[in-house]
Amino acid sequence: MSPIGRSLKRIEDRPLLLGRGQFAADYRFEGQLVMRVVRSPVAFGRILSIDAEEARAMPGVVAVWTAADISDIPPIDFRMTRIKGLEPYRQPVLARDYVRYVGEPVAVVFAEDVYQAEDAADQVFCDFEEEVAHLDATASPVPFMPHSLPGVLSEPAVISKAYGELAAAFAKAKHIIELEVAVGRHTGVPMETRGALAVHDRDTGVLTMYGAAKVPHYNRDAIGRMLQLPTGAIELSEGHVGGGFGIRGELYPEDVLVCAGALRLGRPIKWIEDRREHLLAANHARDQVHRMRAAVDDNGFILGLEDEFFTDQGAYVRTHGGTVSDLAAALLPGPYLIPAYRANGHIRLTNKTPAGTYRAPGRYETTFARERLMDAIAHRLGLDVVEIRRINLIPENRMPYDRKIDVLGTQVVYDAGKYHDLLTKTLDHVGYDALRAEVADRRSKGERVGVGLAFFIEKSGLGPRDLVRARLLKDGSIEVITGAASIGQGVETVIAQICADALSVEIEQISVVHGQTSRIEVGLGAFASRVTVMTGSAAQIASKALCDKILGVAASLMQKETGELTLIDGIVRHRDSNTTLELTEIAEQTPEIIEAEGWFNADHMTYPYGVHVAKVCVDPETCGVKVEQYVVGYEIGRAINPMLVHGQIAGAAVQGIGGALLEEFVYDEAGQPLAASFADYLMPTSNETPTIEMFLREDCPSPLNPLGVRGAGEGGMTAVGAAIGAAVDDALQSPGLVNCLPIGPSKLHAMIRQYPHRHLVAANRP
């Protein structure tokens, strides 16, 4: 029985259950120093002086560095979506001339012990000439660093994408619907904070950084460039990683500092972030405002869509460059035909923590924007919310569908899709009509309960390529080596299932090595829901090649023809005799290592899609929103391990609920963060979490890879804000009420109060 498609328990779990994991903080090297970062207490200011004399004299302190001590280290460069003009906005490793957000690293202390390092960091004194913090990304751009970079403004770039004849669409329109929506600032917040430990081996000259995540190979090269290390002189090694969600594993100042520290101070350097630092310094995300205008005909068909949007990327442009705005501009049209389109995405900087990608970047935001717009159009034209979607969804006979715009350097071409079919099946599955009747009945009895739905497109399997190597070890087991990374999502099990299928062995016979730059020369890491699609396909190709090689070797050992042999259940069997050879025997009897590799290339991404349906109840006294039921209909192409897919969908959906109802980085008017602990940054607990029901479909395999798979990592999250927003509208019988996220009690109360006034304004508009 093929292991593909089976809900096998994970091969990586045992050490994690026994408390034998190896997370960043669990590394310890003889003679190690601890690094502590001194962070800016102000949102915006010119650095006049930094006094570290007292700190340097404290017990256990070995060194204190400011920007002056590392002036040879360049700012952190872009990993993705490098747009012309972004260079001046890169973040220095330690603040130079200005600080631009509360939490920005201004100095580092190296000491013998973490308590001593923290004591000393408290005695580093910075003198700033404070500037007025700029906190509104929709306001006119202001100078980025007035004295150092005169004329450089806080709008690094505008990303524009367009297709079709927009003016003609608006000229033809019977209805023009305008809508402004906003998605607040929240982020991944993995349970393990960031951390790293760098060791420089003086004998070999190799610097190794432990605690790597997400993109070890890229970060190895980037740190090497910044510290001018020759190729081969730096390795990154991933242990267990306590969650990633897009934010962990990007190259941050602290990673570079531990490496520089190890090289220059000659001792291993360990840095473990505390939670306050994490909330102030690791990438934030979302924080977009969309101003949309749709041209619609009498039937509800959208002829054209125009969007002006603003992404608050915080203080600097970090590794993602223009990625989030690029994705938002390309994927706003989503699953709908919309023959004419134009988006201008303003990348704006403010004096908040820099922002990057977080699970479903650009899609969580644009799905909220677009689906709220669909609901607004339905309301204006008196159409049903399902009907408006059916009218506009791309029909199956138009697949593959070329959107005629690009994203992340590839053309947006939806590989395959049965959108109408999935919508129908999901609504049947949830018993949509009965659900509507049930909430209507409860409303008639005074409850504020409602149902909302949203359709979305995801993207997965970002290329351009991936490499996997597989080999037969002497004990008869198979070792699979990949440059992908594990951030806790189950990489080892999924890759092992794919290899076990191709080789016809048990998954327990397979070990998967990942995240080690010393073990394989190419690795693209884990992001953009790429691992199962890209690494999985390469693993299948490598395993099939290894199978052929094993049979070739077995043929010579058994003195038979290769074509007459098969590998089944870990044993090579001859077609018409009882002759068999076990993998252990083959490995033992062969002097050389039997090894094969598999490359998989992809020019285009594969696009999963789905429908979210939410049922919520609003407490009229507190304006608290309770999610009573949540269903995710999702087309994955093929599920390697349905239990793990469900885990991804459920976990993502609950993060989506956090972003929709609870989580927000709020700042005061001086740019001081008001959510710098878990007492203020509220994440869902088991009390706020409904059971996430998954309706997983494999009706439409992807034609772009040999497995037929699409990614599972993000689609549980993409439409949560949109579906819950619609459900709250329905619960309060107030179409268009929810126009921003998160819908916390005080914000919902304000929206309810403003609602009659907003409608008066809309009605008076010519």
Partner 1 sequence: MTDKVSMTLRVNGSSYPISVEPRRSLADALREDCGLTGTHLGCEHGVCGACTVLVDGKPVRACLMFAVQANDVEVRTVEGLANGDVLHPLQKQFWENHGLQCGFCTPGFLMLAVGALEADPDMTEEDLREVLSSNLCRCTGYQNIIKAVKLAAVEMRK
The interface mask with partner 1, positions 430-459, x = CB under 8 A, is ------------------------------
Q: How far is the CB of 9 from partner 1 (least distance, A)?
A: 6
CA separation (Å) from 642 to 21, 461, 703? Answer: 25, 18, 20
Cβ proximity to partner 1, 107 vs 487, nearer residue: 487
Query: Assign residue 408 a region: left if phi > 0, alpha if psi is -120 to 50, beta otherwise?
Result: left
Task: Show Cβ contacts of residue 283 under 8 Å, excluding neighbours closer than 6 positions.
Answer: 187, 188, 246, 247, 250, 318, 353, 354, 355, 356, 357, 358
Does 673 bind partner 1 (CB under 8 A)? Our answer is no
Distance, CA of 726 to CA of 738 (rounded, Å): 7
Q: Closer CB to partner 1, residue 231 or residue 686?
A: 686
Choose, by CB under 8 A, the member of 444, 559, 687, 746 that binds partner 1.
687
The residue behind tokens 């949309």 is 292
Measured CA to CA, the distance from residue 743 to residue 449 in angstroms comes to 15
CB atoms within 10 A of CB 431: 11
Helices (H), 306-352: 323-331
Interface mask (CB under 8 A) for partner 1, residues 110-139, using x and -? ----xx------------------------
Q: Is 267 an interacting residue with respect to partner 1 (CB under 8 A)? A: no
Nearer to partner 1, 275 or 638 (CB): 275
Single residue of 179, 377, 654, 726 touching partner 1 by CB under 8 A: 654
In DSSP terms, 180 is beta-bridged to 291
156 vs 188, beta carbon nearer partner 1: 188
Nearer of residues 248 and 573 to partner 1, judged by Cβ = 248
Interatomic CA distance for residues 490 and 713, integer angstroms:
11
- Phi/psi at 194 (nearest 5 deg)? -70, 160
For partner 1, the closer of residues 339 and 488 by Cβ is: 488
Looking at the Cβ atoms of 570 and 624, the one nearer to partner 1 is: 624
Stretch that binds partner 1, among 310-318, 373-381, 389-397, 642-650 (CB under 8 A): 642-650
Residue from 78, 218, 245, 271 touching partner 1 (CB under 8 A): that is 245
Would you count residue 216 as binding partner 1 (CB under 8 A)? no
Distance, CA of 208 to CA of 463 (rounded, Å): 27
Upstream peptide bond of 464 is cis (omega within 30 degrees of 0): yes
Identify which range of 382-390, 499-507, 650-658, 732-740 contacts partner 1 by CB under 8 A.
650-658
536-558 helix and 491-503 helix, angle to the nearest 10 degrees: 40
Site string for partner 1, 76-115 (x = CB under 8 A): --------------------------------------xx
Q: Applying CB under 8 A, which of residues 1, 18, 760, 763 lies at the interface with partner 1?
A: 18
CA atoms within 13 A on the CB side of 727: 34
Only one of the segments 5-13, 226-234, 310-318, 741-749 lies at the binding site for partner 1 (rule: CB under 8 A); that segment is: 5-13
Of residues 490, 637, 711, 744, which one binds partner 1 by CB under 8 A?
490
The beta-strand segments (E) located in 408-550 are 410-414, 448-457, 465-472, 478-482, 510-513
The yes or no reply on residue 685 touching partner 1 (CB under 8 A) is yes
At its nearest, how many Å lie between partner 1 and the CB of residue 275?
4
Residue 614, interface with partner 1 (CB under 8 A)? no
Q: Scan residues 28-67 and list those touching partner 1 (CB under 8 A).
A: 59
Q: Which residues contact 683 (CB under 8 A, 6 or more apart)?
A: 189, 658, 662, 663
Q: How far is the CB of 713 from partner 1 (least distance, A)?
A: 11
* Residue 629 touches partner 1, criterion: CB under 8 A: no
Burial of 574 (0-12, 13-18, 19+ CB in 10 A): middle
Residue 653 binds to partner 1 (criterion: CB under 8 A): yes
Query: By CB under 8 A, is residue 283 in contact with partner 1?
Result: no
Show the binding pattern over residues 339-368: x = contacts partner 1 (CB under 8 A), - = does not: ------------------------------
Copy the structure tokens of residue 597: 């590799």
For position 674 contacting partner 1 by CB under 8 A, the verdict is no
The token duo for 152 is 């450089």
25 belongs to the binding site for partner 1 (CB under 8 A): yes
Task: Choose between 272 and 381: whose C-beta lies nearer to partner 1.
Answer: 272
151 to 210, contacts with partner 1 by CB under 8 A?
188-193
* Contact in structure between 369 and 332 (CB atoms under 8 Å): yes
CB 258 within 8 A of CB 35: yes
Candidate list 40, 91, 460, 655; residue touching partner 1; CB under 8 A: 655
Which residue's entry shows tokens 């302190």?
Answer: 61
| Of positions 92, 216, 242, 304, contacts partner 1 by CB under 8 A | 242
* CB closer to partner 1, 41 vs 243: 243
The region of 48-56, 76-84, 344-352, 687-695 touching partner 1 under the rule CB under 8 A is: 687-695
**What DSSP letter does each residue of 229-264 carry, written as one string?**
PPTTSEEEE-------TTTTTS--HHHHHHHHHHHH
Preceding amide of 690 cis, omega within 30: no
Measured at the CA of 262, the angle between CA 256 and CA 267, to 5 degrees, comes to 155
CB of residue 274 vs partner 1: minimum separation in angstroms? 6
Closest CA to 320 of 273, 278, 364, 285: 285
**CA 163 remoteness from chain centre:** 27
List of residues contacting partner 1 (CB under 8 A): 9-10, 13-14, 16-21, 23, 25-26, 59, 114-115, 188-193, 240-245, 274-275, 487-490, 643-644, 646-647, 650-655, 677-679, 683-687, 689, 691-692
